[in-house]
Structure 1
Amino acid sequence: MTLNPKFENLLKTDFESLYSLGIEKLREYYSKSWDDFKGIPEEVGSVVNRVVKTSIRDTPIRVYYPKTTGIYPALIFIHGGGFVLGNIDVYDPICRKITNNVNCAVISIDYGLAPEHKFPKPMEECYQVTKWVFENADELHVNPDTIAIGGDSVGGTLSAVISQLSRDKGEFSLVYQVIINAILELDGQTPSRIENGEGYRLTTKGIAWFNQQHLNDISEAKSPLASPLLADNFADLPPACIITSEYDPLRDEGENYAERLSAAGVNVCLKRYDGIIHGFFNMQSTLEEARDALALVCTKLREAFNQ
């Protein structure tokens, strides 16, 4: 399918030149760049900002509650941004929409960014916050038997890794995972990395730049804790909703991950959005496909929480 014409103006930006801005200016640019796309925040029942003490640092989280009362199922949400950019504010409207549409609590993690916090710190931090949510479920008014995890881009990467760790460590049990446009093999070599390596916002050079910021050495990309597609075992993982985009260099690894899960007996919902680029999920105010993807995620979460 041809590229969606709604991306025409966006793709006039020379994204690769942005990496020379310096980390702080790039972070500022990235956060503001979503303002015209992410939509107006919806009113929810309440929003609570908290801090979780982890071995990495004091980690800010934001907890969204629906307008109903009771004990809620919960989605632990991890934002995207290549491990270098982004924050919970960028995905605030998304978290609010999920809270209202699923009638669940959403717990958004503001993990430490690279290069200040290199691998494996973001993974360890998010794992510890997830464990804390289970341990403090009563205080959070959350049902520990109905907790899912998910995220966009590297948020999906971290969600996949934590799902694997939850199975291997046995410290908590997730009921579902949502993986959207995720990088699942950091140094991967797939056809989509070549086909979509230039001109579609996230580029091959951009991926290499993010890896350089995030990893201490490129050899770490071979660890399943960085690249969950390289895990030895895909059995007994939570059911998954995996979303990919036709013009995303990360398309193939998302679909390969879905195949590995399915072959191992895991229930998988895979949907590719044709004509669409990386990062589309947060373009709720401008893209019908983004709204459709959100509706799909909400449907799958409701199903997982009601089983």
Structure 2
Amino acid sequence: MPLNPKLEKLLETDFEGIYSMGIDKLREYYAKSWDDYKGEILEVGSVVNRVVKTSKRDTPIRIYYPKAEGPHPAFIWIHGGGFVLGNIEAYDYICRKITNCANCAVISIDYGLAPEHKFPEPVEECYQVTKWIFNNAKEINVNPDKIAIGGESAGGNLTAVISQLSRDRGEFSIVYQVIISAVLDLLGETKPKSRVENAEGYRLTTKRNGWFMQLYLRDLKEAKNPLASPLLADNLEGLPAACIITSEYDILRDEGEHYAKRLSESGVEVCLKRYDGIIHGFFNMQTLLEDARDALALVCTKLNEAFNK
């Protein structure tokens, strides 16, 4: 399918020039770059900012509560940004929308970014925050039997890894996982064709993905570790049911679809949807793309189904 014409102006941006501005300025630019796409601030029941003490750092989280009384089902959200960029604010609209549409609490994690916090620090940090949520469910007014997790891009990677760790460590049980435009094979060990077909010209390039991974990993050999590249895990049985979203003009398309196939073959219930004519990062372009709104509605539908089983 041809590229959605609504993306043409965005793709005129000199992204390579932007990446030369330095990490601090790049993070500031990235955070502001979503402002035109997020839509109006939606009213929810309440919003609470907290800090969770982990072994890695004091981790800020933001809890969005629906207007109904609890205890609430909960959806843990992990933001994207290549493990280097992003924050809670960039996905504030997304979290508010899910809170209202799925009638659940949404808990957004502001995990430590690379290169200050390299692999596996964000993995363990997000895992410990998730464990804290389960252990303190009563205090934060959520139902520990109905907790799901999800994220976009790097956040989708961390979602998949934490879902695998929750199965392997047996300390808590996640009921559903949402994986959106995720990097699941950090350096392309599985030779995804989309990294060649979409290598340049669609915002996230194959070259730039390598730059993110160099910042995230201490040694590129770590990319073969399933805690870094969950697609490379030997065993995918017994994982939570999943909603996996991909887009046609995304270098990460094939690894998401490969992961969906492997999950399904392992007996895991999977909802896979590809958005044609669309690029990486589209999920947060809510005011620009009907596809983004459709994807968000799909996530809410799948969460409602999971929470009402």
Normalised TM-score (structure 2): 0.99
1:193 matched to which residue of 2? 195
1:304 matched to which residue of 2? 306
2:236 matched to which residue of 1? 234
1:203 matched to which residue of 2? 205
Tell whether the 8 Å contact from 1:16 to 1:205 is kept in structure 2 after alignment: no
SS in 2 for 1:265: coil
Equivalent of 1:256, from 255, 258, 281?
A: 258
Residues 1:293 and 2:295 aligned together: yes
2:57 matched to which residue of 1? 57
SS in 2 for 1:226: coil
Shift of 1:101: 0.3
Shift of 1:80: 0.2
Tell whether the 8 Å contact from 1:241 to 1:300 is kept in structure 2 after alignment: yes
Shift of 1:38: 1.5
Q: Which runs of 4+ in 1 moved over 2 A?
A: none
Q: Distance in 2 between matches of 1:13 and 1:157?
A: 26
Tell whether the 8 Å contact from 1:200 to 1:248 is kept in structure 2 after alignment: yes
2:106 matched to which residue of 1? 106
In structure 2, give the amino acid aligned to 1:268: V
Shift of 1:17: 2.1
1:10 matched to which residue of 2? 10
Higher mean C-alpha deviation, range 256-265 or range 67-76: 67-76
SS in 2 for 1:284: coil
Q: Distance in 1 between matches of 2:199 and 2:209?
A: 9
1:179 matched to which residue of 2? 179
**CA-to-aligned-CA distance 1:244-275 (integer Å, 9 cap, x gap):** 00000000000000000000000000000000
Matching of residues 1-307 of structure 1 within 5 Å: 1-188=1-188, 189-307=191-309
Higher mean C-alpha deviation, range 265-274 or range 12-21: 12-21
Q: Distance in 2 between matches of 1:39 and 1:123?
A: 30
Shift of 1:168: 0.2
Q: Distance in 2 between matches of 1:40 and 1:205?
A: 34
In structure 1, give the amino acid aligned to 2:17: S
Shift of 1:61: 0.1
In structure 1, give the amino acid aligned to 2:217: L
**CA-to-aligned-CA distance 1:184-238 (integer Å, 9 cap, x gap):** 0000131100000100000011101100110001100000000000001010000
In structure 1, give the amino acid aligned to 2:206: T
Q: Distance in 2 between matches of 1:92 and 1:265?
A: 34
Shift of 1:69: 1.0
SS in 1 for 2:51: strand
Q: Distance in 2 between matches of 1:210 and 1:148?
A: 27
CA RMSD of aligned residues (A): 0.5
In structure 1, give the amino acid aligned to 2:239: L
In structure 1, give the amino acid aligned to 2:241: P
SS in 1 for 2:277: coil
Q: Distance in 2 between matches of 1:64 and 1:29?
A: 25
Normalised TM-score (structure 1): 0.99
Q: Distance in 2 between matches of 1:39 and 1:184?
A: 29
Query: Equivalent pairs: percent with the same residue?
Result: 76
Q: Distance in 1 between matches of 2:85 and 2:77?
A: 16
Q: Distance in 1 between matches of 2:38 and 2:81?
A: 14
Q: Distance in 2 between matches of 1:120 and 1:68?
A: 37
SS in 1 for 2:11: helix
Size of the aligned set, in residue pairs, is 307
Structure 1 unaligned segments of length 5 or more: list them.
none
SS in 2 for 1:276: strand
